[in-house]
Structure 1
Amino acid sequence: MRYFLHLVTLLILGCSSSEDTNTSENQDPQNQNPEPETVFYKGMDLSFQPELETYNVNYRDDNGTVVDLLSYVEENGTNLVRLKLWHTSQNGQNSLDDVKAYAQRVKAKNMAFLLDFHYSDFWADPGTQTPPAAWQNMTQEELRVAIFDYTKDVLTQLKNQNTLPELVQIGNETDSGFLWNYGKVWDEFSDNWGNYAALVREAIRAVREVDTENNIKVMLHHSKVVNSKFFFQELAPYNIDFDIIGLSYYPQFQTKDLDLVALELNQLALNFDKEILMVEVAYPFTLEWNDNANNFIGSVNQIIPEFAPTPEGQKMYFEWLVSTIKNIPNDKGVGFCYWAPDWVAFTGNENTSTSGSAWENQCLFDFNLRALPAFDVFRNN
């Protein structure tokens, strides 16, 4: 923890005069509050857990002992859990009931909670931002009321059970806006930033209204490090009240130039004076597979040349990532969040198991479900 340097001077001055020491509490360092320590988030998106737990997946520590996943990750350095929320889930997952129940367990472990509003009934990303079925065919004005009311209701329910999130994400990978076409800002809607900003503003207004103590930090999320500067430049004239730039970085979809990644992160911090959280990151520990589905990464052409697709290479990648984030100017780099470290291959639901997992070689557990060396990065930072 860092302390104000002038406290040392005050201590010396106070010792030079017993009268001053006895009459002035302001010169007693013990009565000064140290500068608050900045939290460095070491997070995991565990949105699959409410479903995976129903199949009794046996996660193991590095010695092979079966562990409770949430307890294990907390005991080994994880201090943030991200959960996504779908409005009216199409498959029964990521519902508000799921989020409320798991948020209680996260808070019981004294971990921070990041709520990821997708504002959709299913996955939302740069290529798909479908409004909830309940909101379709509304006018712009009606939709602004709907997003405010919905956001406020969700957060009020969380507040009532003492699980308000520390961070709230307004939309998921909103490079092209969200709630298409109401808030789309791409192609023929490239002049639609005013409507997008108005919808975002209403969602944030709901956050601020529920969070009367102003403890929640609001994040806007872009899917690419290199292209995000344009997005935030376009949004700047609207003076949106947000705190954190959230970014995804998956090398198979983005640049593999490590110097360029660092440069872009630094420029974002200097240009926009916002905190930066790498809110979706992952890296493979192998190019093999453990199920019958194609994986997002399966070729050496998709990885970063400096980091082999091995358990040690995965760890080295995250050591580089943490160092890069911590070196962002003005202490604006506040952490990272590993996406779906638990989405292993298993026998169960055909949509997320041995018939459909596309992620098992990017988890933090190997094909025997043992914890990988990358957990050292969570423990040591």
Structure 2
Amino acid sequence: MKQKAKLWLLVAGLISLMSCNKVEGKTDSDSSAFAKGADISWLPQMEKSGYIFYNDNGVKEDCIQILKDHGINSVRLRTWVDPSDNPHSGHCSKEETVAMAVRAQKAGMRIMINFHYSDTWADPAHQTKPKAWEGLNFEQLKEALYTYTADVMTALKDAGVTPEWVQVGNEIPSGMVYPEGSTDNWPQLVELLNKGYYAVKEVSPSSQVILHVDQGNNNERFRWWFDNATKYGAKYDIIGMSYYPYWLEGKPDYTLSIDDLGNNMNDMVSRYHKDVMVVEVGGEDTKVQNTYDMLKAVISKVTEVPSNKGKGVFYWEPQGARSWSKYALSCWGDNGRPTQALDAFK
């Protein structure tokens, strides 16, 4: 009996140890799990303005918890160099981004950080150099970008946050940090991109670096961009895509372009041997069923990418209700509750 008791105690101890490791350590399945994400960078100013979030039952609740209850497991946060306090085109400072990352991580979310390298919106139409970087020569500009990137990453690390993914630039089909980082000068653009990459990896070696181009259904655009990125030696881990059927000329409904999205992702994986993610997606808030169907289709296309190379889908500002933001592509209704479209992530 004594031997049996000892054996039982040994087994029980091993089970207990395994359980503790499971809770306290990040498992392989955690890091390889499909990311169902949301960019919620507007959230701090929405809350500061007094906007109240309600769950499906009409009960006031923390927005991150509502998103989590709808299947969201990851959060994307943008950071601007020296932003204003404008409620729609400001905020997103280093300090605010770090605070949001800590809050999201405490809620069990995985974290993506999105460097715009601007004081405000950076996108295909705008890549305005931060005011503090104006007048710098190219060598100084590279160092400023490196130092800023490392500074934000260090602040995150000091706060106990290790971002799983980091975007170096936001929607950069024509480059970033104009005019030096324009695609009119690919060697210079790649030097800037690589400065961001090295700064990320120095502080957080496990973070995966994403390069992000819009129009994820446009294979010609992606081949041209990533062929040049490859030719000039750009460093990165993941190809990030935006997919907004609403903005596609002549193809406003997703059914006209969803197969192109899937085919482009498969081609990117085959051609460049990288993982792919849809880091921005959105649909019309007034066409809830269509947006729901579109999201289900996008998630399906990403999960179908061979060899588990499709890593996730992020909705851009699903909580950014039109009543507050004037933005037409959220997943939030006038009643302060998420629409059925968000259920696509469940």
Q: Deviations over 1:46-69 (max 9, x none)?
A: 000110001232222222222211
Q: Deviations over 1:181-240 (max 9, x none)?
A: 11101xxx2xx11000011111111111111xx210000000112122210011112332
Trace 1:4-43 onto structure 2 (pairs within 5 A). 36-37=28-29, 38-43=32-37
Among 269, 292, 301, the alignment partner of 1:315 is 292
Among 305, 316, 326, the alignment partner of 1:358 is 326
Trace 1:339-350 onto structure 2 (pairs within 5 A). 339-346=316-323
- Quote the Cα distance in structure 1 between the aligned partners of 2:84 and 2:247: 27
List runs of 5+ in structure 1 lacking aligned partners. 1-34, 287-308, 347-352
Among 107, 110, 115, the alignment partner of 2:108 is 110
Q: With structure 1 as the length reference, what TM-score do the two structures score?
A: 0.77
Higher alpha-carbon Rg? 1
Among 217, 221, 226, the alignment partner of 2:212 is 221
After TM superposition, which residue ranges in structure 1, 4 or more long, deviate above 6 angstroms? none
Trace 1:146-225 onto structure 2 (pairs within 5 A). 146-185=144-183, 189=184, 192-211=185-204, 214-225=205-216
Alignment-derived partner of residue 258 in structure 2: 258
Alignment-derived partner of residue 339 in structure 2: 372
1:154, CA displacement in angstroms? 1.1
CA contact (8 A) 1:270 1:329 kept: no
List runs of 5+ in structure 2 lacking aligned partners. 1-26
Alignment-derived partner of residue 119 in structure 1: 117
CA contact (8 A) 1:285 1:312 kept: no
1:167, CA displacement in angstroms? 0.8
Alignment-derived partner of residue 15 in structure 2: none
Trace 1:270-281 onto structure 2 (pairs within 5 A). 270-281=270-281
Q: With structure 2 as the length reference, what TM-score do the two structures score?
A: 0.84
- Quote the Cα distance in structure 1 between the aligned partners of 2:28 and 2:103: 26
Matched, 1:45 2:36: no
State the SS of the aligned residue for 1:153.
Answer: helix
Amino acid at match of 1:136: E
Alignment-derived partner of residue 78 in structure 2: 84
Q: Deviations over 1:274-332 (max 9, x none)?
A: 1111011011141xxxxxxxxxxxxxxxxxxxxxx2x2222111111111111112221
CA contact (8 A) 2:79 2:113 kept: yes
CA contact (8 A) 1:220 1:244 kept: yes
- Quote the Cα distance in structure 2 between the aligned partners of 1:177 and 1:320: 29
Amino acid at match of 2:187: G
Amino acid at match of 1:374: A
How high is the sequence identity, in percent, across the aligned residues?
32
Q: Deviations over 1:163-192 (max 9, x none)?
A: 13111100110111111111101xxx2xx1
1:147, CA displacement in angstroms? 0.9
CA contact (8 A) 2:292 2:340 kept: yes
Among 307, 310, 313, the alignment partner of 1:336 is 313
State the SS of the aligned residue for 1:178.
Answer: coil
- Quote the Cα distance in structure 1 between the aligned partners of 2:171 and 2:195: 18
CA RMSD of aligned residues (A): 1.6
Alignment-derived partner of residue 303 in structure 2: 326
Amino acid at match of 2:337: R
